Amino acid sequence: MRTTRLAVTVLTGLALFVPNHSQALPRTGPAPEATDPSYQELPLRPGFGTTSAGATKPFGMVGITWPSRPDSSEVVVKIRVQRGGVWSDWEQLPVEDEHGPDPAGGEGQQRSGTDPIWVGDANGIDASLTTKDGTTVSDAKVVLVEPGTLATDANPPSSLAATRTDATAPYPAPAVIGRRGWGADERLRSHNGAACVRPKYTSTVQAAFVHHTADRNNYTRAQVPAMIRAMYAYHVRSRGWCDLGYNFLVDRFGRIFEGRYGGTQLPVLGAHTGAFNANSFGVSLIGNFENAKPTGSMLEATARVIAWKLDANYRSPQATVVLDGSRLHTVSGHRDTKATACPGNNLYSQLGWLKQRADVLMGRSVSTEIYRFAQQLGGYRRIGQPFWGEHPTRTGRATYFGARDLYWSPATGAHSVQGGFRGRFRTYGPDGLLGMPTAEQRNGKPAGSRAQNFHYGAIYWSPRTGMHAVNGLISRKYGALGADRSRLGLPISEPFRVAGGVQQKFQHGRLTLSFRTQKVYVT
């Protein structure tokens, strides 16, 4: 087998071919006390020769990239790093092109590459890239990232874990350290164009893919936020992705971190399992589990985030699903989709335990009031797949399906909101001025109009008058008069302030609420 070797030695103060490509990333917006993270992309040019010891600007993470090619499995990458004047042994980096966006995902100029590897506090790098088939790889680059430090790295803040209020409620959200907590610089999402700034969503959540980052296993608690910041920079600036690839990450201490931007409760389209990102989410355990074993707290945290996401979307962790034409387990490993070592033998062997544990946490059945009402309405074929999974509101719970939003509370029962009423009600929210729906949408009067009642009011629509909400004391008076069947007709305005009160216009009159008397008058 003939190989072509590419090598680079980064040395300070020597006249080598490596230019000074140091470039500072901006400080994270919410943490001005952070040091400026250093980011370097250095050319890895063809050539032979011996490596020489030397010092470079410190860096914490290293990766190698090259122009996208269909046979990246033929590429072999090795590095050694210098720490405190001592060179490490050479080690081979995992080449993992199957972590990434879908082929038609539109995430900019993507490059092939290795997984990024955390090296801690290094100040020298030697790298080589060879191919098994003897072909030459041009424009290869060594990426060095120094993510800096934040005052909060030692103890990043997390959201409070929710509690299960009753047996029929979905499994609650576990504590998650959000992007602000680990110090994400949200400006970095615009690096590959304006289209990357807004998050992309898939239709629903049907499956979970389990990964490992193929990284070190001996990191400290305080290093984890920096590791994620460095991974974020590498995925965006060197691989050409819109954002961090994974939806969630879990460290060896059992902490869960939010990955890709867009809202942990929503079906954010990730870049974790090429061709299978749609309708799934990716959770990556930080470490390499080909030889080492994941910790018990790591596995428990992974089971909890899987249980939360699947239960909210009414999916069983013991079931199967068809994605991209392939039948897969609802909880699958990355290697179930491609010829890859991910998530490592010792983590892959735990998938059965993860499924069983998630099933126990979820209660082994789907039994919520919203789910049962969805089935009464005709199931997913009639109302669409769940988009925003079942989540708590102040007085009850809600699930946004593709064609209808369903709400439930003990006081109002389960009801849906659809069509234009859905968009209008979302502007108020179930905890807003109208409260929860108390009935389904109905035909109104005159013919061709529509109406829906809520706890504190109603929404009315007709082609002639448009859509308007009536709420509070004005709604009570309007209802006492007969509502849309009264002589006032339909509302033609929203409530507005007048001297001493609030007024609302109708087709044939007005209702005025007096602040002084707390009574409503017909004018």
Q: Is 221 helix (H, G, I), strand (E, B) or coil?
A: helix
Q: What stretches of 297-336 adopt beta strand conformation (E)?
A: 320-323, 326-329, 331-333
Instruction: Identify the pLDDT of residue 57.
Output: 84
What would the two tokens of residue 381 be? 């074929």
Instruction: Identify the pLDDT of residue 97.
Output: 74
Bridging pattern class, strands 520-522 and 501-506: unpaired
CA gap 71, 160 in Å, rounded? 45
Mean pLDDT of the chain: 88
Is the pLDDT reported for residue 109 higher than 80? no
Q: Do residues 311 and 265 touch, judged by C-beta distance below 8 A?
A: no
Q: What percent of the chain has pLDDT over 70?
A: 89
Is the pLDDT reported for residue 8 higher than 70? no
Q: Is the peptide bond before 343 cis (omega within 30 degrees of 0)?
A: yes
Is the pLDDT reported for residue 230 higher than 70? yes
Render 12-61 in DSSP notation, one character per residue.
TTS--S-----EEPPPPTT-TTS---EEEEEEE-B----------S-EEE
pTM for the model: 0.89
Mean pLDDT, residues 430-458 taken together:
97
Least confident of 45-59, 101-115, 184-198, 377-391: 45-59
Which residue is it, tokens 């959540």? 205
DSSP state for residue 112 in the 8-state scheme: E
CA gap 472, 435 in Å, rounded? 10
Instruction: Identify the pLDDT of residue 56.
Output: 67
Instruction: Identify the pLDDT of residue 135.
Output: 79
What would the two tokens of residue 133 be? 């088939």
Q: Do residues 390 and 398 touch, judged by C-beta distance below 8 A?
A: yes
CA gap 158, 212 in Å, rounded? 22
Mean pLDDT, residues 389-405 taken together:
97
What would the two tokens of residue 315 be? 């999916």
Mean pLDDT, residues 27-56 taken together:
52
pLDDT digits (tens, 9 = 90+) for 288-315: 999 999 999 999 999 999 999 999 999 9
pLDDT digits (tens, 9 = 90+) for 467-483: 999 999 999 999 999 99
Residues 460-493 as b or e (16 or more Cβ within 10 Å = b): bbbeebebbbbbebbbebbeebebbebebbbbbe
Q: Residue 386: which of 125, 203, 131, 229 has the closest Cα?
A: 203
Is the pLDDT reported for residue 517 higher than 50? yes
Is the pLDDT reported for residue 12 higher than 50? no
Q: Do residues 216 and 91 touch, judged by C-beta distance below 8 A?
A: no
Is the pLDDT reported for residue 31 higher than 50? no
Mean pLDDT, residues 159-184 taken together:
92
Instruction: Identify the pLDDT of residue 200.
Output: 95
Is the pLDDT reported for residue 10 higher than 90? no
CA gap 82, 124 in Å, rounded? 4
pLDDT digits (tens, 9 = 90+) for 351-392: 999 999 999 999 987 789 999 999 999 999 999 999 999 999
Q: Which residues contact 161 (CB under 8 A, 6 or more apart)?
A: 172, 173, 174, 175
Is the pLDDT reported for residue 30 higher than 80? no
pLDDT digits (tens, 9 = 90+) for 111-126: 999 999 999 999 999 9
DSSP state for residue 237 in the 8-state scheme: I
